[in-house]
Each structure stands twice: as structure tokens, then as C-alpha cells.
């Protein structure tokens, strides 16, 4: 079974649009802004240009310069003012142009955004969303291809999610915006405009909860867990494996913090094997956490150790080499074999 989202959609519904991930986020943002006048978008080049990826395309034109702000060029400023705007009652949605440029804002994220609610025991809420295009595969120069999500998963007080398909993209961005907690929203940039991933988005559907993982393909021999851009890799691997007679289950993590590992535990108890996939370096990362928790929860079910297919523990290499660096179908299948032959 290939449980893409498409199957459930009524394509005769005229509100249904066939969208890429990029357009789905754009529509999600627009819908959220229409629903609540306190939702504002801010970042570098998000206004007239519509962002370097055009994710905020048209929003400034329609909502004006006070709801879509082309800010000065400084990420601590973007996030720090967003915190203040949230204290005032706004629901800011910040765009960080590329994940590699989130670090000047790290302090505001970890010292204020993550802690204000705890510090004030809920008297102050900071419903800020930080949108972060992330991941590799676009042939870019340095700092444009990284996967820093584990850093934020480690910082208590933040919520971290990542979408992998247009339907989730559309809903998850809206859910993130209505969540009263700060949410780091990681977007798989190389899939933004992927026509292959286009899917009908039905605004009248009932979405899955934001902080829930989802089995996107059922299988029996081993489980693959992935998120964001790696979900496609996992699904492709499962398709390829099926041709060779191996049935793989695929779980889209969706929420990276808090982790929703119950579906993973349940799956591993059936398959006995788990491969966790991520583009980020493996060291002290989200995939480490998954392995740590699964080996504990499923100790007697595991037929092989949890294995990981990740970026290497190096800075992101010159992108002529990114195909080697990034987990791909071959490395996933190779690792499945290792697991099966353990």
C-alpha cells in the first residue's frame, strides 16, 4: 500500500487545488492571514520579492506592508522583534532565508523564545513560527544546504516540525501558526517546486494533528523512519525494495520535538528492525534520540540494532559531492540489507 494523501481527496470539489509544497505553504500562509489579522509575516525579502523561494509570493501585495515586513538584514533582529510582537499579541511568522543563517538568531530562540512561557509560567505566550527552508540537494554554495533541526530539538521549550508533502505543508503551517507555542517549521527546500510531488489540497478536509507521526506506507520486514526531504527517499526505497520482494514500512515523523514515537514503537514491535534516515550529521542528533528511545522501548523486539542513514559528521561538502553526502535510495537499501542480515 502506498498511502499518499491523494487517495482521500475528492477531486470534484472545486476548492481543491493541485499544489506543490511551495504553493501549499503559500496558500496555508494566506489562509492563516485571512483567518486572523494578528498573523504577520516577517523576514528578509519576503515582501516585494515574495522570498527567495517565492513562498510568500503575493502576500505583501494583498495584506500590505504592515503585515508582510521586509526587515533589516539580521536574524537576531527578526526573531527578537517577533518575540516582542508576540508579547504584544501578534502571531509572527518569521522566514529565515536559508537554514544556514538561523544561527545569529540562536540566542533569541533559545534564551527568549523557548523560555518565556516557562519563565512566566504561562502568563506570556509566544506563538511565533520560524519557517526554515532546509536540507540539501539544490547545488548551492556553503550554508545553503544544512539540516540543523536537531539543535532545536535539543532546546527545551521549542516545538519542531517538518513537512514532506503538499497536503501536510498546507495544514501544518496553519496548525503551527495557531499553536500557542513557538514552532520551528522546517521546510524541505529542494522539494518546494517539485512537480512530481504535486498533490490535491482540499481545504475542507480534516487534517491530522500537528504533533503526530504518521505511517505513510505499511510493511513487514523493516521500518524506515524519516522526515522532511528524506521521506521521499524512504518511500522510493520502499518501492524499490518491494520490487525485490522486501516489504518496508515507512513512517513520516512530522513532529521532531516533541517526538511522537508511539507509531514507531508499534511498528518496530512488528518488524523488529528500524532504520532512521536524516540528512543531518548523525552525531548527537535526532536520529540518535530515535535510536536511544527505540532500543529502550523495543528492547526485546529488535532483531537488529537501530541503524541510521544520515549525513556524515562533516560540514556540508561542496555540492558537487552532495549526492554522496545525502542519504539516497542506495544507501538506505544497503542499510536495510545490513539490518536484515544482522
Ligand X SMILES: Cc1ncc(C[n+]2csc(CCOP(=O)(O)OP(=O)(O)O)c2C)c(N)n1
- Residue list 150-169, contact with a copy of itself (CB under 8 A): 150-151, 153-157
Give the span between the Cα atoms of 86 and 282, in whole angstroms.
34
73 is a contact residue toward ligand X (CB under 6 A) = yes
User: Interface residues for ligand X in 269-308 (CB under 6 A)?
Assistant: none
Which is the catalytic residue, given 117, 143, 144, 154?
144
Q: Which of 119, 220, 323, 330 binds a copy of itself (CB under 8 A)?
A: 119
Give the span between the Cα atoms of 69 and 23, in whole angstroms.
20
Residue with cell 498546507: 170
**Mask for 104-143, x = binds ligand X (CB under 6 A):** x---------------------------------------
Q: Which of 24, 27, 85, 222 binds another protein (CB under 8 A)?
A: 85
Cβ proximity to a copy of itself, 62 vs 142, nearer residue: 142
Count of other CB atoms within 10 angstroms of residue 105: 21
244 is a contact residue toward another protein (CB under 8 A) = no
User: Interface residues for a copy of itself in 286-315 (CB under 8 A)?
Assistant: 286-289, 291-293, 295-296, 299, 302, 304-308, 312-315
- Do the Cβ atoms of 155 and 105 come closer than 8 Å? no
Rounded to a whole number of angstroms, the minimum distance from the CB of residue 237 to another protein is 15
Rounded to a whole number of angstroms, the minimum distance from the CB of residue 312 to a copy of itself is 8
List Cβ neighbours of 12 (8 Å cut-off, separation of 6 or more).
none
> Is 143 tagged catalytic?
no
User: Residue 326: is it exposed, middle or buried by C-beta count within 10 angstroms (0-12/13-18/19+)?
Assistant: buried
Q: Name the DSSP class of 216.
A: E
245 is a contact residue toward another protein (CB under 8 A) = no
DSSP string, 149-194: HHHHHHSTT-EEEE--SHHHHHHHHHHHHHSSS-EEEEEEGGGTT-
User: Interface residues for another protein in 177-216 (CB under 8 A)?
Assistant: 179-181, 211
Total residues interacting with ligand X, rule: CB under 6 A: 6
Cα angle, residue 5 at apex, residues 4 and 11 outer, rounded to 5°? 125
Active site residues: 144
**What does the binding site for ligand X look like in residue numbers (CB under 6 A)?**
44, 73, 75, 97, 101, 104
Amino acid at each position: 500500500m502506498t498511502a499518499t494523501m491523494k487517495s482521500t481527496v475528492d477531486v470534484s470539489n472545486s476548492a481543491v487545488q493541485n499544489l506543490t509544497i511551495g504553493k501549499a505553504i503559500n496558500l496555508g500562509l494566506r489562509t492563516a492571514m485571512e483567518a486572523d489579522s494578528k498573523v504577520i509575516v516577517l523576514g528578509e525579502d519576503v515582501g516585494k520579492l515574495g522570498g527567495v523561494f517565492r513562498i510568500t509570493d503575493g502576500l505583501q501585495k494583498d495584506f500590505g506592508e504592515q503585515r508582510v515586513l521586509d526587515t533589516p538584514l539580521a536574524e537576531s533582529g527578526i526573531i527578537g522583534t517577533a518575540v516582542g510582537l508576540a508579547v504584544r499579541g501578534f502571531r509572527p511568522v518569521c522566514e529565515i532565508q536559508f537554514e544556514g543563517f538561523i544561527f545569529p538568531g540562536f540566542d533569541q530562540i533559545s534564551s527568549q523564545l523557548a523560555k518565556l512561557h516557562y519563565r512566566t509560567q504561562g502568563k506570556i505566550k509566544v506563538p511565533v513560527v520560524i519557517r526554515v527552508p532546509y536540507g540539501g540537494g539544490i547545488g548551492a554554495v556553503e550554508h545553503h544546504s544544512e539540516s540543523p533541526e536537531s539543535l532545536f530539538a535539543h532546546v527545551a521549550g521549542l516545538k519542531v516540525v517538518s513537512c514532506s508533502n503538499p497536503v501536510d505543508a498546507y495544514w501544518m503551517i496553519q496548525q503551527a501558526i495557531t499553536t500557542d507555542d513557538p514552532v520551528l517549521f522546517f521546510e524541505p527546500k529542494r522539494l518546494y517546486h517539485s512537480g512530481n510531488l504535486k498533490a490535491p489540497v482540499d481545504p475542507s478536509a480534516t487534517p491530522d494533528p500537528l504533533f503526530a507521526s504518521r505511517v505513510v506506507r505499511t510493511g513487514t520486514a523493516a521500518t524506515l523512519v524519516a522526515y522532511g526531504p528524506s521521506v521521499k527517499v524512504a518511500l522510493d526505497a520502499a518501492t524499490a525494495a518491494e520490487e525485490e520482494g522486501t516489504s518496508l514500512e515507512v513512517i513520516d515523523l512530522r513532529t521532531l520535538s516533541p517526538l511522537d514515537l508511539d507509531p514507531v514503537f508499534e511498528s518496530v514491535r512488528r518488524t523488529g528492525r528500524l532504520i532512521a534516515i536524516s540528512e543531518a550529521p548523525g552525531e548527537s542528533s535526532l536520529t540518535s534520540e530515535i535510536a536511544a528511545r527505540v532500543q529502550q522501548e523495543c528492547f526485546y523486539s529488535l532483531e537488529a540494532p537501530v541503524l541510521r542513514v544520515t549525513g556524515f559528521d562533516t560540514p556540508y561538502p561542496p555540492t558537487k559531492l552532495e549526492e554522496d553526502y545525502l542519504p539516497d535510495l542506495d544507501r538506505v537499501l544497503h542499510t536495510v540489507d545490513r539490518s536484515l542480515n544482522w
